Chain A
């Protein structure tokens, strides 16, 4: 067997995490991006900066604050305990929430750019053709911004797959629960299992390359005249 069972488990966990985070961010990030693309409010700047923070912040810093917030004494932790869910750190869902924050800019920024490129005119046209704003959003803005949705989803997914610092802070290293592929590689190296580390690292490398290859070569809707 090329990969061990625990390697496969880690890969499956990583895919599940990245998939769930991408879905959540599609739901959460789309309205944020839409708002950022169209608002003229003065707090567009500050909100945009907050959304972009994870791009520049060391993951450990982000992880540290999230750990405090979700810990037993933090505001989020108290809420989850009061609801009977218990504290979130070192659970899969804690990792999901942390990753949502960590990957937020990778969803919002490409979407914002795509919505800005669509512009006001198609929506005005839709309004003169009897489409309500919500109707126009789904039947005009979304289809026209579809390449942006694709880019944003792929970037979010791959970025979540590649995260490491936040995982260590929030998730720790529990097999099958929070031990994702990047952590698994780290474990192999720590244990001097270089062959295992090589194999898993190669899988990650090939996966990342293939995704980027798709992203850079196949772009629907960018044919001439659009």
Chain B
């Protein structure tokens, strides 16, 4: 049986966790929410770092805890990446990597060399953690968790303590992880950017409860979560580079239902790329747009609409082919366009972000 079943309840003074989740047994599941929403606590419960007598956790058919069983943390076949890399300062990088490795008993899916190579830390092995940069520490922390060949990888905001530049340095490694290893990952984050780039599945949390859980595109296309996602609400599309226009330095990104032009970033034709279109970059028109600086116009049909978190704003969901776009409009604009579900509209996309 594949999949992760997790049910936890905690009653702490001033904080309750009440979670009942069914998660896919593969791919990256992002746990998204504001700080204090219980993301880290959920991860700690799964790792057995918090005692939850009524909890239940089954990972791909293996019972880690239920009413009668409780595996202590060191007996759970997991990898955990803490928010700060939390390396052992009395050991070298290699010592850190070997710490968990040497305590494994049976077959390992991930080899030590593989973990070192994946995170690009071969040149750091003899160093002490105090002589590593923040980004290097994070990579060693991730490699150390991978080196125990976990059957579930729990990552608690591994990039939170890094600046934007370091994040950009590490994200490609995380993407490789996703592409090359078949280990289910729970990735806690409050950065919608990281989520959009890495996740296949999304769990949105608030106040210790689960607001929504489902495939990424599906959850992001929901209209009832604007508070959770705020400014970053938008659609995620899996696209293929269909053509590259060298004259204008543009690339045509094809998806089920149409295509979008984006800035050419040197991608070769045929490459699969995840694309994000933010709701605030999408405008709607009833007439076919004439001359406009906005080059991407698609024909779609209004699927649903809802209030946004600001009283003057509305969110409109438009279906284009098989894909849902979100558009953030003022309510006045929505009223003057007379937007109603089922109506045919033109979707104008001002900006397309390649998640690469």
Contacts and interface: CB of A to CB of B under 8 A. Distances in A.
Interface of A: 121-122, 124-133, 135-136, 139-140, 143-144, 146, 221, 223-226
Q: From DSSP, what is the main secondary structure of chain B's interface residues?
A: mixed
Interface string B83-103: 000101110000000011001
A128 B88 contact: no
14 contacts: A121-B82, A122-B86, A124-B82, A125-B82, A125-B88, A126-B99, A127-B49, A128-B80, A128-B145, A129-B148, A130-B104, A131-B74, A131-B103, A133-B74
B73 interface: yes
B74 to A, nearest CB: 5
A133 B75 CA distance: 11
Contact of B103 (A129, A133, A144): A129
Contacts of B86: 121-122, 125
Contacts of B78: 128
B72 A130 contact: no
Nearest to B85: A125
Contacts of A226: 89, 130
SS of A interface (majority)? helix
A220 to B, nearest CB: 10
B90 A130 contact: no
Contacts of A127: 48-49, 72-74
Interface of B: 47-49, 72-75, 78-80, 82, 86, 88-90, 99-100, 103-104, 129-131, 144-145, 148
A140 B88 contact: yes
Contacts of A121: 82, 86
Nearest to A120: B49
Question: Which interface residue of A126, A127, A131, A132 has the most chain B CB atoms within 10 A?
Answer: A127
Among A125, A128, A221, A226, max chain B CB count under 10 A is at A128
A133 B86 CA distance: 18
A183 to B, nearest CB: 42
B129 to A, nearest CB: 8
